[in-house]
Amino acid sequence: MKVIREIKKMQELSLRLKRAGKSIGFVPTMGYLHEGHLSLMRQAKLENDVSIISIFVNPLQFGSKEDLKKYPRDFKRDYRLAKNVGVDVLFFPSNKEMYKEQFLSEVYVRELSKILCGESRPEHFKGVTTVVAKLFNIVLPDFAYFGQKDLQQVRILEQLARDLNFPLKIKILPIIREPDGLAMSSRNKYLSKEDRQDAAILYRSLKEARHIILTGTRQGSAVISTIKRLISTIKSAKIEYVEIVDAHNLRRVDELKGEIAILLAAMIKKVRLIDNIIMSV
Ligand code: AMP
C-alpha cells in the first residue's frame, strides 16, 4: 500500500490511472478505522481496479466547542488495517497541505445542511462538503463509498455531486454494528464501560420503532414518542432529536408510507452519537 501525503502527487497518480483506463474506488475517512470503514474499503476494492482511501481529520467540520483536538488518531493501526484489507493507496494529507494560507472557498448545500444534525451543528456540513469536493478533485474517483450511518451526510453529498456535476457515482453501504446493535463509530472509544452499555438503547429504540410500524402503527408522532420514551429510561442519555423523514429527500413525514428513515442523535454523557434505520412501509 502506497502512502501519499501531497495533493499534487495524489492528483498526478489519479490522472495517470484514469488515462490508463483504470477505475478508482474511493473511501474518505477521518481515520481511527473500524469494521464500518473496512466494509467500505472492501467494497471499493471489489468493484474497482484501484482502491484509494483518505485519512484526514477535517478541522472545518468541527464546531468551536467540539472534539477536534481529542478526536482519536492512530496512524500506525490505521495503516495496518487498511493494508490488510488490500487498499492500494492511502492519501494522508496534513492540515497545511489541505488548507493553504488564504484558503477562502466554501462549498455549501443549502437546506439539507440546516436540518437534523445541522440544527445543532450549523457549520458541520459546510465543512464536510468543502473537504469532500476537494477530495473528489484530488482523487478523481469513479465511485465514492459512504456509510448509511451518516445518512444525512450522504444525501447532502449526492446533492453536491449532482449539482456540481462531479463525474462519479456515490455508493451507500449498510451500517456495521457491534453485537449489541450499537452502530460502530470512532467516537464509541470515548464511552466508559457503563455508558457503552447505556448507548445500546439507541438501536434498541429504533428496533422497537420498526416493530411497532411493522405491526400497524402509521402515525410518525406515535413512533417518535415511543423512541423518546425508551431512550429517556436511560439516565445518561439526552436526546437531541428523533425524526422520521422521507429516506430520499429527508423531508419530515407524519403519515408513514413509502421509504422512510428514522434518524436520531443523542448525547450519552458527553459523547454525541447518531443512528438511523431505513424501512419500506
Ligand atoms: P468517518 O471516519 O466517521 O468520517 O467515516 C468515514 C465513512 O465511514 C463515512 O462514509 C461513514 O458513514 C462510514 N461509517 C462510519 N461508521 C460506519 C458504520 N458503523 N457502518 C458503516 N459505515 C460507517
142-181 residue pLDDT tens:
999 999 999 999 999 999 999 999 999 999 999 999 999 9
Among 81, 124, 150, 263, say which to mutate for ligand 1: greatest number of ligand atoms within 8 Å of CB. Answer: 150
The SS3 call for residue 27 is strand
Q: Is 87 in the pocket of ligand 1 (CB under 6 A)?
A: no
Residue with the three cell numbers 456535476: 165
pLDDT digit string (tens) for 206-237?
Answer: 999 999 999 999 999 999 999 999 999 999 99
Query: Rounded mean pLDDT of the chain?
Result: 98
Q: Is 188 in the pocket of ligand 1 (CB under 6 A)?
A: no
Average pLDDT of the residues in 109-128: 98
Burial 212-229 (b: 16+ CB within 10 A, else e): ebeeeeeebeebbebbee
Nearest protein CA to atom 14 of ligand 1, as residue: 147
Among 26, 40, 131, say which to mutate for ligand 1: greatest number of ligand atoms within 8 Å of CB. Answer: 40
Can you give the pLDDT at residue 8? 98
Q: Is 132 in the pocket of ligand 1 (CB under 6 A)?
A: no
Q: Is 79 in the pocket of ligand 1 (CB under 6 A)?
A: no
pTM above 0.85, yes or no: yes
- What span, in angstroms and rounded, lies between the C-alpha atoms of 103 and 58? 14
Average pLDDT of the residues in 52-61: 98
pLDDT band with cut points at 50, 70 and 90 for residue 99:
very high
Q: Is 88 in the pocket of ligand 1 (CB under 6 A)?
A: no
Catalytic site positions: 37
Residue with the three cell numbers 448545500: 109
- For ligand 1, the distance from its centroid to the CA atom of residue 100, given in whole angstroms, is 27
- Do 23 and 143 touch, CB atoms closer than 8 A? yes
pLDDT band with cut points at 50, 70 and 90 for residue 104:
very high
pLDDT band with cut points at 50, 70 and 90 for residue 190:
very high
- For ligand 1, the distance from its centroid to the CA atom of residue 103, given in whole angstroms, is 27
Which residues have CB under 8 Å from 212's CB, separation 6+? 222, 223, 226
Q: Is 127 in the pocket of ligand 1 (CB under 6 A)?
A: no
pLDDT band with cut points at 50, 70 and 90 for residue 120:
very high
Tell me 88's DSSP state.
S
pLDDT digit string (tens) for 251-265?
Answer: 999 999 999 999 999
